[in-house]
Amino acid sequence: MTPAGDGIERAPEAPLTLRVNGEEHTLAVRGHDTLLTVIRERLLLTGTKAGCTNGDCGLCTVLVDGEAMYACLMFAARCGGRDITTIEGLARGAVLHPLQEAWIQAGATQCGICTPGMILTAKAFLERVPRPSEVQVREAISGTLCRCTGYMKIIEAILLAANSGAPQPAPAAASGH
């Protein structure tokens, strides 16, 4: 513990440079600060939602070097130099990402609290498996919970986004299902 300027004892901080949605941020973080805490409370990117903060619900999913990760289970200090994408980084101004458009078209958002994490999970998945089967979609999103939709329209949205993209053959690894 070290007393900071305000005289309050806190865990020591170390400088960290994070690249979030293409923008670099240099800030001081504590060893136990999670990526979720830093994204929401330091960078004030509140589109990333905090649910269980325990690796149980998937609400806080962000992309770290293109891979869907639970931000609540990652220490921010280990994310230096890695490319982080949050939901705020998907649309280009008012032009939405095809997944976001598909979400709207299919009616895949209700309360919306799982939507950011679910869309990012889907993005990472479709980049890996551009033409998935329904079963593959179900498996891909099984780490993120949703109580509103029963997942049906979320699955529909992901398949819609996959099918609306430019036609491309499914990679061999994914076609055996």
Our CB check for another protein shows the closer of 16 and 34 to be 34
The end-to-end CA distance of the chain, in Å, is 53
Tokens of 131: 């033409």
- Of the candidates 60, 59, 63, 69, the one whose C-alpha atom is nearest the C-alpha of residue 84 is 63
Contact 177, 138 (CB under 8 A): no
DSSP line for 40-85: IIIS--TTS--SSSSSSS-TTEEEETTEEEEGGGSBGGGGTTSEEE
**Minimum CB distance to another protein smaller for 81 or for 134:** 134
Site for another protein in 85-114 (CB under 8 A): 86-88, 90-91, 96, 100, 103-107, 109-114
Is 28 among the residues that bind another protein (CB under 8 A)? no
Here the tokens at position 103 are: 């979400």
Strands (E), 66-142: 67-70, 83-85
User: Is residue 147 involved in binding another protein (CB under 8 A)?
Assistant: yes
Instruction: State yes or no: residue 14 binds another protein (CB under 8 A).
Output: no
Q: Which stretch binds another protein (CB under 8 A): 7-15, 73-81, 124-132, 161-169?
A: 7-15
- Minimum CB separation of residue 73 from another protein in Å reads 14
Q: Does position 1 bind another protein by CB under 8 A? A: no
Measured from the CB of residue 40, what is the shortest distance to another protein in angstroms?
8
Q: Does 141 bind another protein (CB under 8 A)?
A: yes
Residue 57: both structure tokens together: 């619900």
Stretch that binds another protein, among 44-52, 73-81, 123-131, 164-172 (CB under 8 A): 44-52
CB atoms closer than 10 angstroms to residue 38:
25
Which positions touch another protein (CB under 8 A)?
A: 6-11, 44-54, 56-57, 59, 86-88, 90-91, 96, 100, 103-107, 109-116, 119, 137-139, 141-143, 145-155
